[in-house]
Amino acid sequence: MFDEADDIHPLFAGAPSTTEFKKLRKRIVRQTREAIDQYGMVDRTNDGKTPRWLVCLSGGKDSYTLLAVLHELKWRGLLPVDLLACNLDQGQPGFPATVLPEFLERMGVPHRIEYQDTYSIVVDKVPQGRTYCALCSRLRRGNLYRIAREEGCSAVVLGHHRDDILETFFMNLFHGGRLATMPPKLVNEEGDLFVYRPLAHVAEADCEKFAKAMNYPIIPCDLCGSQDGLQRQQVKQILDQWEKNAPGRRQVMFRALTNARPSHLLDPKLFDFMNLSTGQIQNDENSAEIPKLR
């Protein structure tokens, strides 16, 4: 059904008719739907109303891909939620404020554009020579939570993809001393909103190919001039080199994040090493099986 020109959401209008693009589109849609199902992102509210998602749109390739795929799934009756696109204009110098409103109006996408000059706060608080990203992200997230509450949304939906998740894992490993990454689904600290990442299984390269092929009006994320020398960029370069040396390694590493074995790690909070005994493991049917070493 994906190949019928008239069976398409407006966000896909004008899509290339090449076999390569059709395969790309199918793959992204399939992987997004798999993540939504696997991590239980769709849930009816207690009063039986249809959930409403705040879909965060920065104007980058990832958020455009997210917006298009979610509307595609909803268009086909596969995503029983209401979608509200939201862009937070943070007052960055040179931000093209009219691009996203005009695009969303043209596509017929329900949306809210919010202006909050967090850029001035970040410039004032962050010492010269330091990157703005951490504080900027926290301020952005706080505003998005507020907007979600005001709009009656149950979830804030972000465009982080597979490579973002991998990079965060290695940043935590190299710099944070912990095994952790961006989860596909979590509850915010206040406990009143979900945060979803439906593109968790989608490769960054696929997002880039898709957004470029669709000719979406991309807004760069480096308007503040604070991107050089980031730890994330260093990790990305390492992963790029690994992928170059062994194509497919990113996917293998990502698969490892879905296949954790607490008994083969060193965290006693995750596995009860202290009370481990051969007799108990062999005789207690209720005990979790310990994977064999290999």
Tell me what pLDDT residue 5 has. Answer: 46
Name which of 25, 37, 62 is nearest 163 in CA terms: 62
| pLDDT tens-digit series, residues 112-151 | 999 998 888 888 888 877 777 778 888 999 999 999 999 9
Which pTM value belongs to this model? 0.88
What are residue 33's phi and psi, to 5 degrees? -65, -40
Closest Cα partner for 149 from 87, 198, 191? 191
Instruction: For residues 60 and 207, give the distance between their C-alpha atoms in angstroms, rounded to a whole number.
Output: 10
Give DSSP secondary structure letters for 97-158: TTHHHHHHHHHT--EEEEE--HHHHHHHHSPTTS-SHHHHHHHHHHHHHHHHHHTT-SEEE-
- For residue 76, the tally of other CB atoms under 10 A from its CB is 15
CA torsion sign for 121, 127, 129, 132 is negative
Residues making up the binding site: 133, 136, 224
H or E, element range at 251: helix 249-257
Q: In which residue ranges of the chain is pLDDT below 50? A: 1-5, 228, 282-287, 291-294
Bridge partners (DSSP) of residue 23 are: none
pLDDT tens digits, residue range 213-225?
999 999 987 656 5
Question: Can you give the pLDDT at residue 63?
Answer: 97
Cβ-based neighbour number of residue 174 at 10 Å: 12
| CB neighbourhood size of 141 (10 A) | 17
Among all chains, which residue has been given the structure tokens 């949306």?
A: 111
User: The tokens of 248 are what?
Assistant: 């497919």
The rounded Cα 228 to chain-centroid distance in angstroms is 22
DSSP states of 172-233: IIIIISS-----SEEE-TTSS-EEE-TTTTS-HHHHHHHHHHHT-----S-TTS--TT-HHH
- Taking domain 10-257, whether its CATH number is 3.40.50.620 is answered by yes
For residue 286, the model assigns a pLDDT of 44
Determine how many CB atoms are found less than 10 A away from the CB of residue 287: 13
Scanning the structure block, which residue is given the tokens 């299984």? 201
Q: Sketch the domain layout of the chain as residue ranges.
A: 10-257
What's residue 36's pLDDT?
98
Per the annotation, binding residues for [4Fe-4S] cluster are 133, 136, 224
**Residue 54, strand partner residues:** 84, 156
> Could you tell me the end-to-end alpha-carbon distance of the chain, in angstroms, rounded to an integer?
45
